[in-house]
Amino acid sequence: MAAERDLEILIIGAGFGGMAAAIELQSHGLTNITILERDSGVGGTWLQNSYPGAACDVPSHMYSYSFAQRRDWSRLCSPQDEILEYAQGVARDYGVDRLVEPNVDVTGCAWDDDTRRWTVSAADGRTWEADAVIIATGQLHHPACSRSSSTSQGSRPAAAPSSRSSTSSRSR
């Protein structure tokens, strides 16, 4: 009988969601995991939004993983840099950072009924194959700029971010 091979799993997105999925899978003994991330590393929202004053709007002891609680948050609702540092620390502690393939902009996932495998493609032409794909791409990383219809600048978007979903200046 052929030896059972490890289930190959691709996670798309290395924000809190993708990290949690990887940690949970590892706890069940699944180790053949790759996280494809468009950005340079883990953190998602908290890596991509670094405008002045960016912070969590719920208490940090609730906005953190149940299995990785910390007691030394500097504020009740912590600032972005502290949340990012926390995410990076969890990624290191649970070995998630070594699973991340950074700078991969996933553009498609195709299922093949015959091979029963996924092929995941990226904008740069690279492809990956896997038995399972987990989409953890979030939804708030698209900049939302308000449009002004009555200015002399025509349809140029206004510069000010409009809400939480606004991606603004990156200080990196």
Ligand X SMILES: Cc1cc2nc3c(=O)[nH]c(=O)nc-3n(C[C@H](O)[C@H](O)[C@H](O)COP(=O)(O)OP(=O)(O)OC[C@H]3O[C@@H](n4cnc5c(N)ncnc54)[C@H](O)[C@@H]3O)c2cc1C
* Tokens linked to 111: 């299922």
Please select the residue that binds ligand X; options are 36, 84, 91, 133, rule is CB under 6 A.
36
Side-chain-side CA neighbours of 81 within 13 Å: the count stands at: 7
Minimum CB separation from ligand X for residue 23, in Å?
Answer: 12
Of the candidate spans 1-9, 91-99, 130-138, 144-152, the one that interacts with ligand X by CB under 6 A turns out to be 130-138
Hey, which bits of the chain come out as E strands? 9-12, 33-36, 100-101, 106-112, 117-122, 127-130, 132-135, 145-147, 157-161
Q: Is 110 in the site for ligand X (CB under 6 A)?
A: no
Minimum CB separation from ligand X for residue 129, in Å?
Answer: 16
Minimum CB separation from ligand X for residue 167, in Å?
Answer: 7
The residue behind tokens 């999925």 is 21
Minimum CB separation from ligand X for residue 45, in Å?
Answer: 4
* Tokens linked to 12: 């798309």
Minimum CB separation from ligand X for residue 29, in Å?
Answer: 23
| Alpha-carbon span 155 to 172, nearest angstrom | 29
Q: Which of 132, 138, 139, 136 is nearest to 116 (CA)?
A: 132
Instruction: State how far Cα 76 lies from the chain centre.
Output: 24
Please select the residue that binds ligand X; options are 34, 49, 60, 88, rule is CB under 6 A.
49
Can you name the residues that pair with 134 across neighbouring β-strands?
A: 11
Please select the residue that binds ligand X; options are 9, 11, 44, 130, rule is CB under 6 A.
44
Closer CB to ligand X, 111 or 156, in the complex: 111
Q: Is 121 in the site for ligand X (CB under 6 A)?
A: no
* Amino acid identity for residue 76 in this structure: L
Closer CB to ligand X, 139 or 155, in the complex: 139
Contacts with ligand X, residue ranges (CB under 6 A): 12-18, 36-39, 44-45, 49, 54, 56-58, 63, 104-106, 136-138, 140-141, 164-165
